[in-house]
Structure 1
Amino acid sequence: MLTGKQKRYLRKEAHHLSPVFQVGKSGINKNMLDQIDETLEKRELIKVSVLQNNFEDKHDLADQIAKGTDALVVQIIGNIIVLYRESVEKNQIELP
């Protein structure tokens, strides 16, 4: 679980990032979760965009992705989900 200070720090770090994945009307599948998992291992902090043709709740989608990849939801703002997971091999982000 992240503290408020850690979430603020991660939001600051994620501000300049562009979304790496897009969730469309087909939703989330196993292949997408595997790709997000690999990307989190390399980058630790990513953004996922929810397209407007997806009618599922953004909070439910964020929870599904977080559970499927063992990540933490940092923020949901608009149609963007920010996810964080500490890397096992390439630990780049030092949390306060």
Structure 2
Amino acid sequence: MLTLSVLQRQNLKARAHPLKPTVMIGSAGLTTTVLREISCALKSHELIKIRVMSEDREAREATLEKICTQLNAAAVQHIGKILVVYQPQEDTPVKKPTQQKGKTLSKKQLSSR
């Protein structure tokens, strides 16, 4: 299970705020199929929200713990029935902003890339 610093967790919470839940865990609980779906979502999005339909808070906490340990992910946040999970993508090359022939890019142009 990954651990995050306070600053990393704050930044991830800010990134997760506008997201909609990607995966829903129903009355059947955390099955292998749901776990596989969470894994696929984390590989493509890196940061996801999961909605858990269980009324029991302790069961939701146990579900979050199980997801994080089995997928080597980090728990970012648990608010109500929403869980936020982060798993950094592997071997993701960082894109550098390209410059147009001799022109320097403005801050606005750099941030839009």
TM-score normalised by structure 2 residue count: 0.74
1:50 maps to 52
1:67 maps to 69
Work out the CA distance in 1 between the residues paired with 2:27 and 2:14: 30
Work out the CA distance in 1 between the residues paired with 2:93 and 2:26: 30
1:2 lines up with 2:7 in the alignment: no
Secondary structure of 1:49's aligned partner: strand
Gaps of at least 5 residues in structure 2 are 95-113
Aligned structure 1 segments of 4 or more residues deviating by more than 3 angstroms: 89-92
Work out the CA distance in 1 between the residues paired with 2:52 and 2:83: 8
Work out the CA distance in 2 between the residues paired with 1:85 and 1:62: 13
Larger CA deviation: 26-35 vs 6-15: 26-35
Gaps of at least 5 residues in structure 1 are none
Work out the CA distance in 2 between the residues paired with 1:29 and 1:87: 23
Work out the CA distance in 2 between the residues paired with 1:51 and 1:72: 21
2:35 maps to 33
Greater C-alpha radius of gyration: 2
Change (3 A) 1:43 1:80: same
Secondary structure of 1:57's aligned partner: helix
Offset at residue 38 of structure 1 (A):
1.2
Offset at residue 39 of structure 1 (A):
1.0
> How many residue pairs get matched?
91
Offset at residue 40 of structure 1 (A):
0.4
* Higher-RCO chain (CA-CA 8 Å, sequence separation at least 6): 1
Letter in 2 for 1:59: E
TM-score normalised by structure 1 residue count: 0.86
Change (3 A) 1:25 1:91: farther
Q: Percent identity?
A: 30
